[in-house]
Amino acid sequence: MHEAKTIYRRVRKYDVETLVNGGTHAVLTASAMYAQSSCYFEYSWPFTTNSYSLFVQSEGEKVSTTWYLDTFNGRLWLMAFIFILCIACSIMGTYYVQKLISPNYMEFHDELSSPLFSLFYVWSGISGQGFQKIPKSWSLRLIILSSLILGVLLSYGFSSTLTSDLANRRDSIPFANLEDVAIKRTHTLCIRNNSSVYLHFTVDGSLQGEIQDDWKGLLNDGCPDMSTDSANLIPELCNPGFVYLEVPNIFRFTYHKAQRNCSIVQLPEIYWSRRLAFLQTKSAQHRHLINKYILRMDTAGILNYLRRKWMSTHIYDQSGYLRQSTFQPVEFEHIHLAFCGFFAITVVSAFICVLENIWYKLRLKYKGINPISIMPRTRDHMNMNITKVRRKSRPRTIVVRRCQTVRSILLPEIVKDPEFFQNVTVRVNRW
């Protein structure tokens, strides 16, 4: 290009009219490709991509009431509650089978047969309080042991994640994206009037067009002029009522002057990525040569070097406004092996429960006791048994019925006898 007979002029402001009038053939300035090529001008080969981000002043560190809920993933909270219900049902089911086979079997004063007690019993074990007593049944012991192991994992995961989350700094910001700015209407949105993104906020999509109704009163209302180095730039830039929509590399250069006075946070969402190119007329003699050199520079890696140099951020690392929270909640995938282990232990405990019942019947058979005779009887069986007991009278034994007529006739006379309670044994059968 140095051999071409071209006149170079240093310009600060330009528009399309300079290209149309023929006064300029090419503008070697990074121009956003937001318009289509016309019959008068066209863009060169793009050499980089630029995008816009939101910048807002941080409100500092605030305590959030949702930190405890955010510690676990939503799926994990659901699985934890399902897990507690499954353990409670497993304990009740195993205890019911044990009582069905062995009528004399009892644990914790028969409290495990209550659904509410079993639920709170498991809840206390999962939360780290442990279990008050250990049951005699090995199948119940395995279920309780597996629930204790998973409870320890959940408790440690919850505590460690919450502690690390509280230890990390959390920047509180008033909104999350550009839509929140228009909805809340608490901040003024500052955009350069000559930027390509300004077109998205006008009715006709031009720089001179009228602002859209949603952004009236919010766009560039008292915003600082970041293109100047005036003394009022730093206090105006740190105004908490402003939010800036700007290219990160451009805003970094301006914010670097005021980073000691305020803390501005860049939101992670990216808006309107645009390719940058040179603007030139189609009648320009060297437009193909410009495209050729851009391709050669891209192939040789020169453009990559320039991109890293233009968009370098290492000198702003201490500013902290790009710092993002690395907090990750505990998810189901972190402890899915513990859930699989619980279901495996549940199957093993069910198998042990069957072996316990078989061993119980074999022991009764070895002692010569009929297992059917000690099984729970129905009401008809019990009534027939009681009738037989009534017919068999034993010496000095009185069977007192729970009948109002018998009590009203016999008891007053019997109680008058002082030797009654010394010579007579009273047995009350309840049915």
pLDDT tens digits for 142-187?
Answer: 877 777 777 777 777 777 776 666 666 556 677 778 888 888 888 8
Q: What is the pTM of this model?
A: 0.45
73-97 mean pLDDT: 82
The pLDDT tens digits for 62-82 are 555 566 677 777 777 887 788
List the domain boundaries for the chain. 66-168, 332-360
Measured CA to CA, the distance from residue 317 to residue 252 in angstroms comes to: 11
Q: Would you tell me how many other CB atoms lie within 10 Å of the CB of residue 132?
A: 9
Q: Are the C-beta atoms of 177 and 267 separated by less than 8 Å? A: yes
Measured CA to CA, the distance from residue 78 to residue 148 in angstroms comes to: 18
Measured CA to CA, the distance from residue 396 to residue 110 in angstroms comes to: 36
Phi and psi of 49, rounded to 5°?
-125, 140
**Helical (H) or strand (E) element with 267:** strand 264-281
Q: Is the pLDDT of residue 18 over 70?
A: no
Tokens of 55: 């910048």
Measured CA to CA, the distance from residue 336 to residue 348 in angstroms comes to: 19
**Which residues make Cβ contacts (< 8 Å) with residue 210, sequence separation at least 6?**
202, 203, 204
Q: Are the C-beta atoms of 279 and 43 separated by less than 8 Å? A: yes
The pLDDT tens digits for 313-326 are 433 333 444 444 44
DSSP state of 49: E
| DSSP-based three-state secondary structure for 228 | coil
The pLDDT tens digits for 282-304 are 777 777 788 787 888 878 777 77
CA-closest candidate to residue 126, choices 160, 149, 143:
149
What's the angle, vertex CA 295, arms to CA 293 and CA 296, rounded to 5?
A: 65
Tokens of 311: 């968009």
Tokens of 181: 């700015």
Q: Are the C-beta atoms of 401 and 428 separated by less than 8 Å? A: no
Measured CA to CA, the distance from residue 21 to residue 295 in angstroms comes to: 29
Q: Would you tell me how many other CB atoms lie within 10 Å of the CB of residue 365?
A: 11
Q: Would you tell me how many other CB atoms lie within 10 Å of the CB of residue 6?
A: 13
- Please tell me the predicted confidence (pLDDT) of residue 331: 56
Phi and psi of 222, rounded to 5°?
75, 25
Q: Would you tell me how many other CB atoms lie within 10 Å of the CB of residue 212?
A: 13
Q: Are the C-beta atoms of 403 and 412 separated by less than 8 Å? A: no
**Which residues make Cβ contacts (< 8 Å) with residue 356, sequence separation at least 6?**
98, 137, 138, 139
Classify domain 66-168 by CATH architecture: Orthogonal Bundle (1.10)
